[in-house]
Chain A
Amino acid sequence: MADGLGQLGGALAGFANFGTLFNVLWATLLGIVIGALPGLTATMGVALMTTLTYSMAHDSAILILICIYVGAIYGGSRSAILLNIPGTPASACSTLDGFPLARQGLAGRAMGISTAGSWLGTLFGTLCVAVFTPLLGELALTFGSYEFFWVAVFGIVVAGSLSGGDPLKGYMAGFLGLMIATMGQEATHAYPRFAFGSVDLAGGISLLPALVGAFGVAEVLQVMRGPAFRAVSSTVDSVIPRIRDVTQYWRTILRSGGIGTFIGTMPGLGEDIAAWSSYAAAKRASKEKEKYGKGSVEGLMAAETGESACVPGAIIPVLTLAVPGSAPAAVLLAAMLIHGLNPGPNLIVSTPEFVYQIVAMLIIADMAKLFFGLTLVRPLLWILLVPRERLMPIVFVLCTVGAFAIAQRTFDIYVMLFFGLLGFVLRELKFPMAPLILGLVLGDLLDKNLIRGLSLSGGDVTPFFTRPISAVLALITLVSVLWSIPPVANRIGALFRRR
């Protein structure tokens, strides 16, 4: 404990310089702007900034990406409250009570609640990162190939089941991602799978161009196809949070922080699920249920705390298992790999101080978010006025640079285009994107561990089901699949109701 605090203090002290402070301020502000602008998501922001920070030292680069991530998830609430348009999918829940408050002339109070909830949520989640990451990291050290195989399958199944919409399409998207990840040379024999004689395809599909395409280009196409114009108006009062709003709902804040962080640790679920789950739990436990949907302070606080607590939560499995808890965390994982860091079970052995550096980064980003949340209200509102016709081509140019810059391959621009079109079509057909991305990210983990496991057991699949942790993960995966089948879920529900 004391050792951890010492390392955290050392990390905070290491970041206490002008250069770092400058990076934190601009990155958090940029993150808030990205989040506030509908059509730009946290995933897109982190993916594009991964390219920009490629040449920086790894600690500066990861700090900037975390600031973008933290800022973007918070920034989405601005447009949700003021315009009834969620800036990011994560802030959709905040429109339910944020916009009614704004219509009552309490937009400033709503933004104050959002700022306080978001700040406390990230702080709660960050505390969980500091406490649980070393513990989970040690547990992960006991994992072998069989366990990692199930971790990857579990991630795909959970993301498919719970990331919104049709679970069947979620599983399809996940396995499509896994399938695409097999392209290129495999690890054992260096055999180029599905390369068809192309040197570029033999090199495999790089994660970053694919992410930039699926989240950037697809978003541009979707935004340009969508509704053209809707004028919304609001007035803004004081944005300083009221102490009473925080003290009165401390139970809601703690509950939402816990739910948000837990959901963050589940592979591929992300901030939107965290916000909705926290909101639903707060409503169930509330003494003022009738206010929900009509401008409930408690409801807005729950949604904001939940979504922001999810951010550090999603980083926990990145650090311990190299499995992302959300789509932006998947990009963060890719960025860590690009910078030569080694997220996963070995991190806690090789560079334990990095965990506390991440905690320090989250704390610094959270403080910067609080600063901007309380000060820069009006300039942020002006940014919302930028018409999409002028914003989207610039986003497209950024996507092109983002896809190209890491490896300087024109092929990666075509990969971005392909994933942009694929992402657009799949979204139109109501396929969730998170399992697709998770499939791409986890493909390598699943591939290597399935082959290694089969090779170790001489083709015997029983160790995949009989080793204790494998058995538990297999059982949870099976239950998740069964739970997503409505007739089965109804029967189980009926059984419990009868009792």
Chain B
Amino acid sequence: MTVETDSFASGSPPPSPRADLVTAAVFVAISLTVLALALQMPTFTDRGGDPYTAPGIVPGFYGLVLAGISSILAVRALRRGALKRQAETAAPSGLYSNARLAIAAGLGLVYTVGLVGRVPFWLASALFIAAFVGAFEWDPGATPKARLRRLAVAAVIGLVAGGAAHAVFQEIFLVRLP
């Protein structure tokens, strides 16, 4: 028996020292913000509360530790030449596609924020699945007839999957849908 399939293998290249430096800076900023907000939290000692049960102790502790660890990452990134001029390292073209990512994320966003809760769930899901399949299986080089056929297949997949999701969740498993 012969099997042919897609590869879903993922494993993008490791981040550069500069990316690590930026990441560390973001983490330090978040941790210090959390620390500052934790320090502003009430201690409830004025109401006779135990000072060691103050709501800010735990997040403050995390903020402090995370800021420290993130600083170590920043120092390491600097030592590895994060500030040096870096040669353009081209991503392995054809393997990782930001356009595909943007389409997937965009459609997901439209579905969850724009459709779910506003139209019946089965219809929202059918529209999303059909659009997703249609967008990713779109072949600009194909004949108009072939393109139309693919869009029809996408619509059928969307309707079947949307209807099945409604039937399985709402009718069989008695799960409330958005």
Interface residues of A (CB under 8 A from B): 38-39, 51-55, 79, 82-83, 85, 168-169, 171-172, 175-176, 178-179, 182, 186, 188-189, 191, 193-194, 217, 220-236, 378, 381, 384-385, 387-390, 392-394, 396-398, 400-401, 404-405, 408, 410, 413-414, 416-417, 420-421, 428-430, 446-447, 450-451, 454-455, 458-459
Contact = CB atoms under 8 A, between A and B. Distances in A.
Given A397-B129, A401-B169, 11 more contacts: A55-B174, A82-B3, A83-B7, A182-B62, A194-B34, A224-B101, A227-B95, A235-B2, A392-B132, A400-B116, A405-B177
A421 B157 CA distance: 26
Interface of B: 1-10, 12, 14-15, 19-20, 23, 27, 30-31, 34, 37, 41-42, 44, 49-53, 55-59, 61-63, 65-66, 69-70, 72-73, 76, 94-98, 100-101, 103-105, 107-109, 111-113, 116-117, 125, 128-129, 132-133, 136-137, 157, 161-162, 165, 169, 173-178
B175 A401 contact: yes
Contact of B9 (A38, A189, A191, A194): A38
Contact of A378 (B1, B34, B132): B1
Given A191-B42, A451-B53, A455-B53, A232 B4 contact: yes
A429 B15 contact: yes
A175 B60 CA distance: 12
Contacts, number: 231
A5 B9 CA distance: 45
10 smallest beta-carbon distances between A and B, as pairs: A393-B132, A230-B7, A38-B8, A389-B136, A224-B104, A225-B101, A454-B52, A191-B55, A226-B10, A39-B8
B96 A397 contact: no
Contacts of B103: 224
A427 to B, nearest CB: 8
Say whether chain B's binding surface is mostly helix, strand, loop, or mixed: helix
6 contacts: A172-B70, A221-B108, A226-B95, A388-B6, A404-B178, A413-B112
B9 to A, nearest CB: 6
Contacts of A398: 165
A496 B42 CA distance: 51
Contact of B3 (A191, A224, A234, A450): A234
B169 A52 contact: yes
A410 B117 contact: yes
Contacts of A233: 2-4
A417 B53 contact: no
Contact of B104 (A392, A451, A459): A392
